[in-house]
Amino acid sequence: MITDVFCGSSRSFLILSVWGALATQAFAQDACTSYVVKEGDTLGSISMSAYGRLDYQAIFNANTEQLRANPNALSAGMELVIPCGDGRLSATDDVAEIDAAVSKVGNVSSDTQGKYRAKIRFVTGGDWYPFADEGLSGGGFLIRLVSTAMQRGGNDQQFAIDWVDDWDSHLTTLLPLGAFDASIAWYQPDCSALDTVSEMTRDLCLNYDFSESLYDAVFGFFTKKGNKYENARTFADLKGARICRPEGYSFHDLDAQGLMEPVVSITIDDYMEDCIKGIMADKYDVFSVESQAAYPALEAEGVGGDIVENPRISSIQAIAVMTYKSNPHSREYLTYLNRGLNEMRDSGEWYDIVASSLKEANDKLASQ
């Protein structure tokens, strides 16, 4: 039976961002430039040329407006930005710096405005590196994005961000009982066909509102070399597969493709490395998480050459802020946040926050 959970994993493997992937000299000339898509190109093939790796989250982040609708269908003639390995959009740009004002972690509060309105109470959880983690400046880039968005877009609304690491309590207790107004951050389900989704997806669609996407995570699908699903060309080709995702990850992308039990067998293991070990032991056929999380995990387990990512199948999962629909201010609060996010995307501040945060996270891991 599927147990579907929609928050960032509370015990996820340390993520080495693709921003910091060390490209060999043979690939360096393709990064830090723009690229015109040719017939037959995929984001995977472009990423291999630029960085020597199949995962392409960095390219997606730099081209979200063009690629969000369908990253698997590139059009010949489309021009893409290929960022540098350290996150710069071009070789002449400076690497974005983290403002010292956001380095404090804990209760992040805006107290100078909105005196005549109730303070919006956000809650998040840690140990979701580098998305939301108290060891990073500002608590990780998702927390920085929300905090900054609430101060943009002409907002004059007080807010505070607190930490409760029991992610499940956000869903079952804290939002429904009104202890907090909004939770950062959850994978947003596809609510367009409620008659074909899992029970948990239906519950979220009926009882929760979601902000616009804070960040679109590229999910890859990995198999052991020689597995019969290695050459699957479409989601339909995964029928019958034994699929593993770690605790805290959603399956609504598979729901949308009709890949629910008993069509497929889905297992949620406690840790990412458990899924990887299950793949190597032929317990599972497919392992699926964010591509940028998978590669360092595979290297840590010493199976980087034995497990391969399918270059033809991927999904995009939007990470958003969630509010409970019975909260009378649910939509109002999300409007403040969305207004700020839109301004940040237009100004380029969104990209700077993501790039600088991922660079910081990568530097921390490299120094360990």
Q: Which domain holds residue 305?
A: 216-318
* 65, 249, 337 from 213: Cα distances, Å: 12, 16, 10
Phi and psi dihedrals of 143, rounded to 5?
Answer: -70, -40
Cα separation, 297 vs 235, in Å, equals: 24
Instruction: Choose between 87 and 282: higher pLDDT.
Output: 282
H helical segments located in the chain: 43-51, 57-62, 64-67, 141-149, 167-169, 199-207, 252-256, 272-280, 291-300, 330-347, 349-366
Domain count, the chain: 3
Residues 289 and 334 placed together within one structural domain of the fold: no
pLDDT at 82: 92
Mean pLDDT is lowest, of 130-139, 193-202, 216-225, 312-321, for 193-202
Residue range 100-136, pLDDT digits in tens: 666 666 666 766 554 556 899 999 998 787 888 898 8
Residues 273 and 304 placed together within one structural domain of the fold: yes
pLDDT at 113: 52
Cα separation, 6 vs 119, in Å, equals: 26
Q: What is the CATH number of the domain that holds 54?
A: 3.10.350.10
What global pTM score does this model have?
0.80
Cβ–Cβ < 8 Å for 161, 107: yes
Tell me, yes or no, whether 205 lies in a domain: no
Q: What is the DSSP letter of 127?
A: -
Q: What is the CATH number of the domain that holds 334?
A: 3.40.190
End position of a domain, from candidates 34, 52, 82: 82
Cα separation, 180 vs 77, in Å, equals: 47
